[in-house]
Structure 1
């Protein structure tokens, strides 16, 4: 069936629907990864967003049970140039079309995804709606609906509703779930950690009550400045245990230390972003998914130092803190999808926790 994408600037793309039919509204963003569409679909950081994949053929290896990053797809809608209807992979259990239909996600294929990406790069991320219909009618009414659309409390929509414990025989790590990807837990478990996942609503007192050796702050969706409770909570945790923050956890920690953030024009989303580790003088290819960045001129240089820099646009990709065992990064060292070049940061976190525990 025909389907349309209407952007808030009035631009219209005509294609065909797949997955579920209907209407959906969200923030339209693009991802530059050549593979990893299943991880993208299930990444909670995409809550409230319609994702356009820039690689032209999507769905060629189907969907499996191993590569999901949360229990269900988190995107509002999914846009591809060409959908593969006959996937071929030994792990595949269903096609992408079947997977999205079963999970009630609206898809759009057959539009010029290059043109859409150029528009979003030139004008910036904007709201949009996918409409399954033979003709696009009542455009003005739909544009009015787009302008009123907001993503309300996305962190609370994706965080775990209860504490989840994964037993291990090593260090005890408290992981605060702002919208975490499962591979963060996997990365800790592979290092023999005992992991307890807490909801984003858990208090500092509740987290410290389990006597963790270290604390991790996960990725997640939305504007970090909307997470006022979480920011105040991080203030209470700083200095109590070694802390490692990823993506949204990186931004919230900076805000808790008096820094400021702003929205990027079109964000960083993909698994091919070059980032320089300043101390190592090495550049790594990283997986990223975020729409906000920390402003360098807002950093308290007595407390914070930039540890990683984005080689495309010079934005901050990592911060180390001088007054406590604490560091954070904007990219995803757990990858999924993407390269594992920066997985060494998990090892650095483990060593920092061990050193702090030995000193305590």
Structure 2
């Protein structure tokens, strides 16, 4: 039977078990095997494919707050990387049939082919409230006979599991530097504007949409491993550096932050998004903090501190730079704050062509803050005289 037409009754029973012992019963879909990850919730109404294939989702179980998921299927064009990075998917109701002219396969078929487990039929509103009250935590999706074991035993298994939130780094280790042109990324000449500028991309888990945003503005991209040293970057003869988003925790980023610090001291313009902001902030001596809930979704409001303008952004981060309102750090200016909780969402360094945002200014989400990419390319063209 085609999986996209499989009724809920024919799917195996599954149990979502949180590290604190809270459970949610449902039905498995996708790979139908036990999996573990850090459970969070994503408030976007669409874009589930972008969230699943975002390398920043490595090691996470994504709870989608929108109730009906899978309507538009999956396609090659919208994928942000070459695979699904999320450890699991949690939804209220899975669409039985995708209906979209761009759909190439169903969500269920795609997850099954990639070995990713999902659970449907649970109260995602109650789960979201639980996470908001108690914070993100490890969880497991247990399927079939595994789900029938005593809850105490399953909770111990969840507690004993170490979630790898930096799987992308291991997969990219030793990767050769590669040059990407607009043509390589599928753009036509009429989709590219601006003079050609060479940009190094430090690949912490870069999204395709960020590469496209740079290429559309004329950037010629040299993609380097996140572990590349400053000498490797400067030898590439680039005008500036883009520090990408990706998975990881602050304690895993110290060497990358040291590299970025050396590049800043060398006078190169640097722009970062997501994890890239965390790295740039660490390079500038800014402390970090782990958020209890995190920011995940395509409808996150931020305030531009210079203009007071509110912009709607796409975000996926669990850690943030720790500069409480009313405090300051020498040489660092806060350019954006979250309208919801005041968390730092953007910074720039005084007297340097260096700035960053915790959100994605363009791509798989709103375009309110796309001017940040424009600003970066303008810095590079001014530096090179193009």
TM bucket, shorter chain: over 0.9
In structure 1, the residue matched to 2:322 is: 295
In structure 2, the residue matched to 1:184 is: 210
1:324, distance to aligned residue in structure 2 (A): 1.5
Mapped contact 2:28–2:143 kept (Cα < 8 A)? yes
1:256, distance to aligned residue in structure 2 (A): 1.2
Partner-residue secondary structure (3-state), 2:110: helix
1:276, distance to aligned residue in structure 2 (A): 1.1
1:293, distance to aligned residue in structure 2 (A): 1.1
In structure 1, the residue matched to 2:152 is: 140
Asked if 1:200 corresponds to 2:226, the answer is yes
1:348, distance to aligned residue in structure 2 (A): 0.5
Deviations 1:112-146 (A, max 9, x none): 00000000000000110001115420433332232
Deviations 1:261-304 (A, max 9, x none): 11101100000011111223211100000001111159763310
Question: Bigger shift: 340-349 or 146-155?
Answer: 146-155
TM-score (ref. length: structure 2): 0.89
Q: Give 1:2-17 correspondences, 5 Å limit.
A: 2-17=13-28
Runs (5+) with no aligned partner, structure 2 = 1-11, 183-194
* The one of 243, 247, 252 aligned to 1:221: 247
In structure 2, the residue matched to 1:355 is: 382
Cα distance in 1 for residues equivalent to 2:108 and 2:328: 49
Mapped contact 1:246–1:328 kept (Cα < 8 A)? yes
Cα distance in 2 for residues equivalent to 1:344 and 1:133: 49
Mapped contact 1:155–1:179 kept (Cα < 8 A)? yes
1:341, distance to aligned residue in structure 2 (A): 1.3
Partner-residue secondary structure (3-state), 2:199: strand
Asked if 1:170 corresponds to 2:196, the answer is yes
Mapped contact 1:274–1:312 kept (Cα < 8 A)? yes
Partner-residue secondary structure (3-state), 1:307: strand
Partner-residue secondary structure (3-state), 1:238: helix
Q: Give 1:275-354 correspondences, 5 Å limit.
A: 275-297=302-324, 301-336=329-364, 338-354=365-381
Partner-residue secondary structure (3-state), 2:238: coil
Q: Give 1:96-135 correspondences, 5 Å limit.
A: 96-134=107-145, 135=147
Asked if 1:264 corresponds to 2:291, the answer is yes
Change in Cα spacing, 1:261 to 1:158, as seen in structure 2 (3 Å) is: farther
Mapped contact 1:239–1:325 kept (Cα < 8 A)? no
Q: Give 1:58-77 correspondences, 5 Å limit.
A: 58-77=69-88
Question: Bigger shift: 162-171 or 148-157?
Answer: 148-157
How many aligned residue pairs are there? 358
1:329, distance to aligned residue in structure 2 (A): 0.5
Mapped contact 1:15–1:111 kept (Cα < 8 A)? yes
Partner-residue secondary structure (3-state), 1:236: helix
TM-score (ref. length: structure 1): 0.95
Mapped contact 1:7–1:126 kept (Cα < 8 A)? yes
1:149, distance to aligned residue in structure 2 (A): 2.4
Cα distance in 1 for residues equivalent to 2:314 and 2:381: 27
1:188, distance to aligned residue in structure 2 (A): 0.9
1:48, distance to aligned residue in structure 2 (A): 0.5
Mapped contact 1:155–1:200 kept (Cα < 8 A)? no
1:64, distance to aligned residue in structure 2 (A): 1.0
Q: What is the Cα-based RMSD across aligned positions, in Å? A: 1.7
Deviations 1:2-31 (A, max 9, x none): 111000111111100110011111100110
Cα distance in 2 for residues equivalent to 1:109 and 1:167: 41
